[in-house]
């Protein structure tokens, strides 16, 4: 008979998320750099700081359970990141690049929300309120990030539609001030 129990499952998924958060720490700086929209870049950079804190909070949960922090390869996050990277390459220089970045980031957030939601539930069932409190705190930040990304998705689309409506006029106005902006506008 398989003797694995709910505590094993919690430890397994904890190790999965520990791996995922560490992968995100590596990937997010590149994603932030690729974003055109300033608010989007700032949101990703803010979430990068939170991601570092999440990894540390998970280390605390391992210790709370009397275990050494251990990462388990998370195929899901690697897949989401790989697909996001491919899409970013395909849309490089396009006006839809920020939408691509937001979609990939939301896929990551939803994966995190699902797993932290399960971890929270299991910690409560195992009567471990301190681990539950950590998972809940992280879960709240992941949900806030997801909400922020939805708002940004609308803003980004709105602004790119406004730019399209303004056409070349906008590019000419910006020419004397900022050549990098012009380069972006004309590449669209
Ligand atoms: Fe996270
Ligand atoms: Fe996240």
The Cα-based distances of 41 to 80, 82, 156, 183 in angstroms read 19, 20, 12, 19
CA of 176 to the centre of ligand 2 (A): 39
Task: Indicate which ligand has the atom closest to the C-alpha of 137.
Answer: 1
CA of 78 to the centre of ligand 2 (A): 14
CA of 85 to the centre of ligand 2 (A): 17
CA of 109 to the centre of ligand 1 (A): 8
pLDDT, tens only, 100-144: 999 999 999 999 999 999 999 999 999 999 999 999 999 999 999
pLDDT at 178: 44
CA of 7 to the centre of ligand 2 (A): 24
Q: Where are the domains of the chain?
A: 6-187
Q: Position of tokens 């937001």?
A: 102
pLDDT at 173: 44
pLDDT, tens only, 21-53: 999 999 999 999 999 999 999 999 999 999 999
Q: Is the pTM of this model over 0.75?
A: yes
CA of 145 to the centre of ligand 2 (A): 7
Among candidates 117, 17, 26, 118, which has minimal Cα distance to 76?
17
Contact between 77 and 24 (Cβ < 8 Å): yes
Please tell me the distance from the alpha carbon of residue 76 to that of residue 90, in angstroms, as a whole number.
21
- If you classify domain 6-187 with CATH, what class do you get? mainly alpha
């Amino acid at each position: 008979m398989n003797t694995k129990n709910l505590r094993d499952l919690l430890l397994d998924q904890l190790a999965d998320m520990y791996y995922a958060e560490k992968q995100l720490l590596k990937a997010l700086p590149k994603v932030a750099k690729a974003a055109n929209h300033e608010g989007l870049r700032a949101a990703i950079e803010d979430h990068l700081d939170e991601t570092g804190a999440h990894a540390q909070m998970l280390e605390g949960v391992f210790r709370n359970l009397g275990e050494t922090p251990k990462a388990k390869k998370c195929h899901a996050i690697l897949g989401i990141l790989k697909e996001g990277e491919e899409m970013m390459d395909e849309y490089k220089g396009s006006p839809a690049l920020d939408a691509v970045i937001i979609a990939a980031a939301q896929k990551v957030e939803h994966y995190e929300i699902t797993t932290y939601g399960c971890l929270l539930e299991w910690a409560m069932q195992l009567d471990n309120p301190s681990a539950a409190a950590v998972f809940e705190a992280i879960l709240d930040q992941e949900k806030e990030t997801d909400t922020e990304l939805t708002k940004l998705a609308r803003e980004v689309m709105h602004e790119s539609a406004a730019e399209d409506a303004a056409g070349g006029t906008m590019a000419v106005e910006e020419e004397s001030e900022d050549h990098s902006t012009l380069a972006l506008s004309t590449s669209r």
